[in-house]
């Protein structure tokens, strides 16, 4: 439908409803004129079509419910908003008739003919029953009234117009006559509303759109335009408003504030900060930008991200304001496409993912039932998964508050069922659904498999020994104790499975100079193969083999999977942390189900090589068809102070030429926090005065945050847990309580490990090794004599008798009996209630405040563990065996779940001070970062533990090394196969590069200040330390 004027703005809700109906149902053969003046009289609508007719409509938004009396054909009584009775005098049908003849007379005067024009009144909110019950026929005859019932469909509407046409005997106009009618309104000779609304922007706002971007020059600004934007916003449209004058932005903010009403109570809608007495630029679904230049000559607008030829001007706005063009284009990118988001540190990747999801829900019109099967997301941790669900829920809760649309509330409920989970949780879901394809039964259990693996290793070692060592001693030949060699084999296999390697899939284990390498080559693939087969036969899955089994599933009956899953979109967060097998699973899965991918990550933050991740993740995903992925780069940083970010950019760019870090696009700062302060501060020291200087620096940084009168966070970042403990001890010795790892993983807490040892003892209560483990928990107050236990070694009966003598748990035997017949969680709760392990734990602290604080932390962690065990049981009956498995898997695999325990009285004058490893703080931010240990040489082969494994992706060769059984001199010799020796030099460089990426992660945690310690002791020529990277002394 053609509409005039082009920049059509409709204030009246009744007129707007009529306009939307006509616009939706009629094509461009029909023309609609709105609010034109003829002889000083302004009509509502003139709706014309050459064959169908000319119609003059007067619109009244009355619903009829407030009409109390129809007096006659010129007067009605109605109840106003104050519940007072008012008179309305006049008749809309008579008005329409006057307007009609004004038009006819003007056409006759100018063009010499009298067209037939039909007139009617439209009541878009009044149905026929109300019309009859209120006796509206007396006021306006029903035959010329178009009611709500007539606007239900196009057919009803046309049927009504046909009745009206018969009343006026419409005659079709000639082409010339129809052109004359149009000319009357479109040649600008007439004083129309186009002149009255003089505005250079040709814009008609549809309030049902997802988003509007409007660049509004001050000369084009009218309250009517701004009010239309507010109306659209309140209907759920996301608004981006940019103007060349602050007066326009301020006027809009004032108009919004005056129309917030109850929304002002919610922080997400507070456009005015009453404490600071100033307006803010962003509230829910509304973003405002001031463009302080005059080089954009025309106002323009963009609907739903369809930018047309506006790309260049948007790039200009992006460059000169906080508007983020890449986030905008990503959010509105066309559906059914694959996307890679390369998101730098602090660039709002979570916001971008949430925005993309809400756009897809809008475009596909997904219901609350749809989203659970159409959209899935993989995150790196449970905490991230929960945060993503929380953010999505908050979006639709706010959307409901704003719009009062019931479907928004339904979506809030639907998000509970959306599949946002860690890779292992999603993998478990896939195995549960398709396990029968590889011979597993339904509800296959997950287990650690350590006992079964040890059994198989011993079996294959014994078989090898029987075949190859019939007449001589194997131990003498390989010079390694068998039980220690079995442990080496287990560790190698565990490291391979940690990287999701299935040996029979073309991987190569070669020999070395040592006989033991030959044995490993021969038996390791057999052990893994037997373990997988035994697991499937026992309807069990070893946790470390989940990914391997999923790949087997995807390589079997793909048609069944394709027709079972209805997934449209898979989102993957922290994609740089995926390994090769996980990437292959995603690609295979995509080929089968045909969903679209959106992956987000930052190769510069790839710091999990020990899990199989490497810096080529995106390259491997693109494969040989990179053109199939649209890549968006996010570089506007919303975390770090501009000045600090400029300093960091100068540092990062020096790393690229030497191939330490790929840093091609500089991060752009949005926040200006530091005034004349130094953003990066170097503290020089030598080892003799480190502790003294460290405490001085820490106190100075605490005081600096106090001066700013804010609750601040200081993070002391280190590489290892041992360094965390060192810093805590230095703090304690100087009267400063430094908290360790406040982003604590629940399963790494003392409460979790104590509970695990308790259920182990309950389950294996006839195994001395398990019950004596209780003495290393806070469930026992007694201890045992190591000498006494040594004297009865090997005698299980005497060991158990000794345990019963010294066991301080009075009801131990009672608990063992109850475990057999009562729900296990009831018995566990009884034990916890009886023994109160938090008080035993707190007893070790001398200071009363420390005792209180640590008791609360322990108790809260324990309560959260119990809650987690119940919630994740999936309505299954929890046995003691299942309880052991669940806790063992969570603890041994480092499952991520953030502890909710809060530190009590730990802040120093509202300043929170924590010490953590860099890995612990990934994704977090702190006002000040202190880095005390920047002097460690990163350019050396580190103490890598008992076993190390290397894998070459191209050749599929596996290299490994492990420590000898006995020391040679004061050191253990390392045994390596040929592949390890071949790749060892490359591995040293790859590790150094990872250390640089870890440093990058550490530095980008800072909001406004970085303090790093620089050892002035002369370094050796080959040494490369973090302080050298920061000093650009490479």
- What tokens appear for 1018 in the block? 């002369």
DSSP state of 335: S
Give alpha helix (H) positions in 908-947: 918-921
Q: Is the dihedral of CA 30, 31, 34, 38 positive or negative?
A: negative
Taking the C-alpha atoms of residue 17 and residue 35, their distance in angstroms, rounded to an integer, is 15
**Cα Rg of the chain (Å, integer):** 37
> What are the angstrom distances between the C-alpha of 708 and each of 224, 700, 910?
43, 13, 12
Q: Are 369 and 663 in contact (CB under 8 A)?
A: no
Residue 921, judged by CB atoms within 10 A of its CB (0-12, 13-18, 19+), counts as buried
Taking alpha carbons only, the member of 601, 597, 632 closest to residue 328 is 632
- What tokens appear for 152 in the block? 């239900």
> What are the angstrom distances between the C-alpha of 964 and each of 513, 582, 976?
13, 33, 10
Taking the C-alpha atoms of residue 269 and residue 40, their distance in angstroms, rounded to an integer, is 43
Task: Report the 3 state secondary structure along 64-77.
Answer: CCCEEEEEECCEEE
Q: Is the dihedral of CA 904, 906, 907, 913 positive or negative?
A: negative
The annotated binding site for ATP is made up of 343-350
DSSP state of 479: T
Q: Are 137 and 126 in contact (CB under 8 A)?
A: no
Taking the C-alpha atoms of residue 1030 and residue 663, their distance in angstroms, rounded to an integer, is 15
The annotated binding site is made up of 343-350
> What are the angstrom distances between the C-alpha of 30 and each of 23, 169, 204?
9, 20, 17
Taking the C-alpha atoms of residue 270 and residue 283, their distance in angstroms, rounded to an integer, is 7
Q: What share of the chain is helix, strand, coil (3-state, %, to 5)?
A: 50, 20, 30
Q: Is the dihedral of CA 900, 903, 908, 913 positive or negative?
A: negative
* Strand 540-542 to 445-447 pairing: parallel
Give the DSSP H/E element, type plus range, for residue 55: strand 53-59
Task: Report the 3 state secondary structure along 862-879.
Answer: HHHHHHHHHHCCCCCCCC
């Amino acid at each position: 439908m053609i509409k005039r004027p082009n920049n059509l703005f409709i204030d009246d809700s009744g007129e707007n409803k009529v306009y939307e109906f006509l616009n939706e149902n009629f094509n461009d053969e029909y023309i609609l004129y709105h609010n034109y003046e003829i002889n000083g009289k302004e009509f509502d609508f003139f709706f014309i079509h050459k064959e169908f007719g000319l119609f003059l409509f007067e619109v009244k938004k009355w619903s009829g419910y407030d009409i109390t009396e129809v007096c006659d054909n010129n007067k009605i009584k109605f109840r106003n908003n104050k519940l007072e009775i008012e008179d309305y005098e006049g008749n809309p049908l008579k008005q329409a008739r006057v307007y009609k003849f004004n038009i006819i007379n003007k056409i006759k005067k100018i063009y010499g003919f009298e067209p037939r024009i039909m007139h009617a009144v439209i009541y878009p909110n009044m149905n026929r029953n109300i019309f009859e019950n209120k006796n509206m026929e007396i006021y306006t005859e029903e035959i010329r009234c178009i009611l709500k019932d007539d606007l239900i469909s196009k057919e009803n509407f046309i049927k009504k117009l046909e009745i009206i046409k018969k009343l006026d005997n419409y005659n079709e106009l000639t082409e010339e006559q129809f052109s004359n009618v149009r000319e009357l309104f479109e040649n600008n000779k007439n004083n129309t509303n186009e002149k009255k609304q003089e505005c250079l922007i040709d814009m008609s706002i549809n309030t049902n759109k997802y988003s509007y971007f409007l660049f509004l020059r001050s000369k084009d600004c009218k309250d009517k335009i701004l009010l239309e934007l507010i109306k659209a916003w309140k209907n759920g449209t996301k608004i981006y408003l940019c103007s060349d004058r602050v007066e326009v932005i301020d006027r809009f903010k004032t108009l919004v504030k005056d129309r917030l009403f109850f929304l002002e109570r919610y922080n997400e809608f507070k456009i005015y900060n009453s404490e600071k007495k100033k307006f803010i630029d962003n509230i829910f679904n509304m973003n405002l930008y001031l463009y302080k230049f005059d080089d954009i000559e025309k106002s323009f607008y963009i609907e739903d991200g369809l930018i047309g030829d506006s790309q260049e001007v948007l790039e200009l706005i992006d460059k000169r304001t906080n508007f983020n063009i890449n986030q905008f284009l990503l959010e509105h990118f066309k559906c059914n496409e694959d996307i890679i988001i390369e998101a730098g540190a602090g660039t709002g990747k979570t916001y971008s993912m949430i925005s993309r999801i809400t756009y897809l829900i809008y475009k596909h019109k997904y219901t609350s039932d749809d989203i659970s099967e159409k959209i899935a997301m993989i995150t790196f941790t449970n905490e991230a998964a929960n945060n993503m669900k929380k953010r999505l829920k908050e979006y639709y809760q706010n959307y409901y508050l704003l719009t009062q649309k019931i479907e928004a509330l339904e979506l809030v409920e639907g998000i509970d069922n959306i599949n946002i989970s860690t890779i292992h949780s999603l993998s478990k879901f896939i195995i549960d659904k398709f396990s029968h394809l590889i011979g597993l039964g339904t509800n296959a259990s997950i287990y650690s498999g350590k006992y079964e693996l040890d059994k198989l290793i011993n079996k294959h070692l014994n078989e090898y020994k029987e075949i190859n060592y019939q007449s001589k001693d194997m131990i003498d030949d390989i010079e390694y104790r068998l039980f220690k060699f079995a442990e080496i084999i287990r560790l190698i296999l565990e490291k391979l499975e940690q990287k999701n390697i299935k040996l029979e899939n073309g991987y190569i284990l070669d020999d070395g100079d040592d006989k033991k390498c030959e044995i490993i080559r021969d038996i390791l693939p057999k052990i893994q193969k037997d373990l997988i087969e035994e697991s499937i036969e026992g309807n069990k899955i070893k946790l470390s083999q989940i990914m391997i089994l999923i790949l087997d599933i995807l390589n079997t009956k793909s048609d069944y999977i394709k027709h079972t899953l209805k997934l449209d979109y898979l989102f993957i967060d922290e994609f740089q942390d995926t390994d090769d097998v996980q990437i292959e699973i995603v690609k295979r899965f995509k080929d089968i189900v045909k969903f679209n991918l959106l992956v987000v990550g930052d190769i510069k933050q790839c710091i999990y090589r020990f899990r199989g991740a490497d810096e080529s993740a995106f390259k491997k995903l693109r494969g040989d068809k990179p053109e199939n992925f649209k890549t968006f780069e996010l570089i506007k940083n919303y975390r770090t102070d501009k000045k600090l970010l400029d300093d960091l950019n100068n540092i990062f760019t020096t790393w690229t030429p030497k191939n330490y870090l790929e840093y091609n696009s500089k991060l752009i700062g949005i926040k200006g926090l530091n005034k004349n302060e130094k953003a990066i501060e170097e503290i020089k020291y030598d080892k003799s005065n480190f502790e003294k200087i460290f405490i001085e620096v820490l106190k100075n940084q605490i005081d600096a945050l106090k001066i700013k009168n804010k609750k601040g966070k200081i993070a002391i970042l280190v590489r290892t847990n041992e360094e965390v403990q060192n810093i805590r001890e230095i703090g304690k010795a100087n009267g400063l309580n430094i908290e360790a790892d406040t982003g604590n993983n629940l399963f790494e807490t003392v409460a979790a490990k104590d509970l695990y040892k308790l259920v182990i003892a309950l389950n294996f209560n006839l195994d001395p090794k398990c019950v004596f483990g209780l003495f290393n928990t806070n469930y026992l107050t007694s201890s045992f004599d190591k000498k006494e236990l040594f004297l009865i070694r090997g005698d299980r009966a005497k060991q158990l008798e000794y345990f019963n003598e010294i066991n301080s748990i009075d009801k131990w035997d009672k608990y063992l009996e109850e475990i057999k017949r009562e729900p296990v969680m009831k018995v566990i709760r009884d034990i916890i209630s009886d023994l109160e392990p938090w008080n035993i734990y707190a007893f070790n602290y001398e200071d009363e405040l420390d005792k209180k604080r640590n008791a609360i932390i322990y108790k809260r962690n324990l309560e959260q563990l119990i809650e987690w065990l119940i919630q994740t049981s999936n309505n299954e009956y929890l046995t003691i065996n299942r309880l052991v498995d669940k806790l063992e898997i969570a603890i041994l695999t480092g499952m991520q779940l953030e502890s909710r325990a809060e530190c009590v009285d730990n802040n120093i004058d509202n300043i929170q001070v924590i010490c953590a490893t860099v890995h612990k703080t990934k994704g977090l931010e702190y006002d000040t970062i202190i880095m005390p240990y920047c002097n460690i040489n990163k350019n050396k082969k580190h103490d890598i533990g008992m076993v190390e494994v290397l894998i070459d992706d191209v050749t599929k060769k596996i290299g490994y090394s492990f420590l000898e059984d006995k020391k040679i001199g004061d050191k253990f010799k390392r045994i390596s196969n040929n592949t390890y020796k071949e790749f060892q030099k490359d591995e040293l460089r790859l590790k150094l590069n990872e250390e640089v990426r870890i440093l990058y992660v550490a530095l980008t945690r800072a909001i406004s200040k970085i303090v790093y310690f620089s050892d002035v002791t002369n370094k050796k020529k080959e040494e490369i330390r973090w302080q050298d990277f920061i000093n650009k002394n490479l």
